[in-house]
Amino acid sequence: MTKEKLAKSIEYTLLKPTATGAMIAALCEEARQQRFACVAVNLCWVPLCAELLKGSGVSVCTGIGFPLGTTATAIKVEETRLAIAQGANEVDVVINIGKAKEGDWKYVQDELAAIAAVAKPVAEKSATAKPAGMKSVAARPAATLKVILETCYLTDDEKVAVCKAALACGADYVKTSTGFGTAGATVDDVRLMRATVGSSMKVKASGGIKTLDDALALLDAGATRLGTSSGVSIMEEFERRAAK
């Protein structure tokens, strides 16, 4: 593990309801300095982050249906559309957990497909015939799509089923947790999710990642990204350990 590789695995989060613009600006500056992969903020802060991080190589992520996942599908779709229009490069969608618990996999699948249609639009084929003088219409910007399971509420069979639904809709990641549930990421859940999606998708671990050892264990289990509000302290711990 190198410092650069560790930094690029971190999504630096500030999702507290008490977050202010000054706190979000500080988050962005620290993410820029550390060269993190991403900042993760609530939707109202996306325009500010997009402006502050322009040209930095740090992406902007926001939650959809966050943190409960219980908003109507149409609202989640419009949230996704607005987030991307305002500068989000990545969206983390909370599934409807109750629908998953009752085994309504059609609902879960249809909802994810509707969101994916907005987050990952298909470019118009250049071979399509057009009337003379009509220009090709460029595809809307695509966003990285992550599906949040909230693993603390699901059985292993349910976790596998959600991963398969996310895979079928073309999502980029499955993610363990919002950080607002009864528990966060575990090594066992990351291993199960990685085994289910194979190399077709990536896995994001989030919730309760406070130390360097937490981070390394989850990466070793198969996570590609780590959602954490402790990103700077984890990097400082890595530097202290490397110095020894």
Which amino acids are annotated catalytic?
92, 175, 204
The full DSSP string for the chain is --HHHHHTTEEEEE--TT--HHHHHHHHHHHHHHT-SEEEE-GGGHHHHHHHTTTSS-EEEEEESTTT--S-HHHHHHHHHHHHHTT-SEEEEEP-HHHHHTT-HHHHHHHHHHHHHHHSPPPPPTTS---TTPPPPPPPPP-EEEEE--GGGS-HHHHHHHHHHHHHTT-SEEE---SSSS----HHHHHHHHHHHTTSSEEEEESS--SHHHHHHHHHHT-SEEEES-HHHHHHHHHHHHH-
**Dihedral sign of CA atoms 138, 144, 27, 20 in order:** positive
